[in-house]
Amino acid sequence: MKYDYLIIGAGTAGCVLANRLTEKSENNVAIFEAGRPSDIWKVNMPLAILYAMHDPKYNYKYYSEPEPNLNNRKLFCPRGKMIGGCSAHNGMVFVRGNPNDYQRWASFGLKEWSYEKVLPYFKKIETWSEGENDYRGGSGILPVNQSKNENPLFKAFINSAGEAGYKKNKDMNGKEQEGFGMYDVTIHNGERASVSKYYLNPAKKRKNLKVFTEAFVEKVIFDGKKAIGIEVKINNKVEKIFANREVILSGGAINSPQLLMLSGVGPNHHLKDKGINVIQNLEGVGKNLQDHLETYVQQECKTKDTLYSYVNKLNMLRIGIQWFLNRSGPCSTSFLEAGGFCKSSPEREYPNIQFHFFPAFVIDHGLVDPDRHGYQLHASPNHPKSRGHITLNSSNPYDYPKIQFNYLEHEDDLNQTIECIHVARKILGQNSLKPFAGKEIGPGEHAKTNDLLEEYIRSKAETAYHPSCTLKMGTDKMSVVDERLKVSGLQNIRVVDASVMPEITSGNLNAPTLMIAERAADFIKNSN
């Protein structure tokens, strides 16, 4: 079999590429997804986030290696294993990042990625519920809606942020990011607006697209330095499929570097140690791993406005039926819709903290039900200085890779996280939340000193599920792709996903990944 383009991974970026590349009828495209189709209730129902996240049929369910600065805990690292990838099980919060993030990218010799260059692509993605303007799109493929969730805790939280001296902001994806308000969400008509539904499904009707599911790509085939195809297991049989033009890796920040290394592209010594023939020595493959680390400040709630009511099986059944009947009620929302960005101290150049407010306690990624009414504020530094890495366990493509985040390796990350807790407590202690506020559960009212806060962070902090930057674009010796996302030293192979970010953006990563894919599609179409 031969196609012009082989896209490996039908996650956020892969779905965008499949749509955009098949807009030209002369392009013959195949996309390969190791997982299954995702048109199931546990994906479509917004409140059912955790069901797909914890289902091994739809998720890789990775864990990190023991993290030395988090009491040697192995942190959960879910990654979508289905059509739509992580857009099919994420929290549906749509955050572009701060304009300054992209100015920093441009300063690394990546002029094609300045804010001025990426803004038109962000606008191209969306049909925004509040209408088109200089910063927002009104005729894009993906419905992006400002949350209208009227839970009284959200209003109280946003007012409390104002009382604490922070800005309110009605559009954190607009002219400026700083401030607190309701987030944009990819929820539409009571259902998850996944990238697969809005980008891939329409493209499936085109004769020039072939979608393979449960198709595990084992390696990229090279002829010298030129990528010419892939070896992929379909129906328990390994087949060779060839590319006339390009092989495009869109497996994400964990799987794309793993596949490159299995194919002979990566650090020379590491590949030789695993018995892999080296095609191209690139030291940066798998390096530069970044993520946002969240700490939860948890408070009891004196009212019944939290999600604890739905722990009751009868209530859960009732709201589930309501959603199945008419896509309404509590199951039609994620309840992750309030939050904001601020500076932890005045000397910060631009907002260095993101907050998500959630009207329930989250225990062990939702595997343990809370035992009382409560709410929590997720606090995380936007720009961690710690760097981790992805390495191979073996040359077997079915062995999970080793993931080492090295959270809090850099002292500044710990200091910023402590600052995050101080800011969170300041907001949660304001008058607007007083009618709801019971005692603080975590870190707990006893935790007054920075030493006690540090102990809480090391024992309780969790991933925000934003792994990125493991195949960074740039011009230095640790860069893997150039600014048009071509792999250095090789021909006919690109990477298009969150792994190519040189630095992690401020906020959730789905929107920037969409933008990267839209931008890449134009690079690819214009290179023919």
Question: Which string of DSSP letters, residue by residue, matches 424-490?
Answer: HHHHHTSGGGTTTEEEEEETTTT--SHHHHHHHHHHH-EE-S--B-TT-BSSSTT--B-TT-BBTT-
Q: In this predicted structure, what is the pLDDT of residue 528?
A: 60
**Residue given tokens 């740039």 in the structure block:** 474
Output the six-digit token pair for 306. 């939290």
Residue 348: closest CA among 288, 429, 423, 410: 423
Stated length of the chain: 528
Q: Are 65 and 404 in contact (CB under 8 A)?
A: yes
User: CATH 3.30.410.40 spans which residues of the chain?
Assistant: 148-182+293-381+408-460
Q: In this predicted structure, what is the pLDDT of residue 468?
A: 98
Q: Are 67 and 74 in contact (CB under 8 A)?
A: yes
**Residue given tokens 């870190």 in the structure block:** 443
Active-site hit among 188, 292, 383, 466: 466
User: CATH 3.50.50.60 spans which residues of the chain?
Assistant: 1-143+192-291+387-406+468-528
Residue 516: closest CA among 171, 164, 125, 223: 125
CATH no., domain 148-182+293-381+408-460: 3.30.410.40
Helix intervals (H) in 78-175: 99-107, 115-125, 152-163
**CA–CA dist 393, 320 (Å, integer):** 42
Full-prediction pTM beyond 0.95? yes
Find the helix or strand (DSSP H, E) in which 142 lies: strand 142-146
Angle formed at CA 464 by CA 363 and CA 77, multiple of 5 degrees: 80
CATH no., domain 1-143+192-291+387-406+468-528: 3.50.50.60
Q: In this predicted structure, what is the pLDDT of residue 347?
A: 82
Is 466 part of the annotated catalytic residue set? Answer: yes
Residues in the chain with pLDDT < 50? none
**Residue given tokens 């929590």 in the structure block:** 376
Phi, psi dihedrals of residue 163, rounded to the nearest 5° = -65, -30
**CA–CA dist 483, 139 (Å, integer):** 27
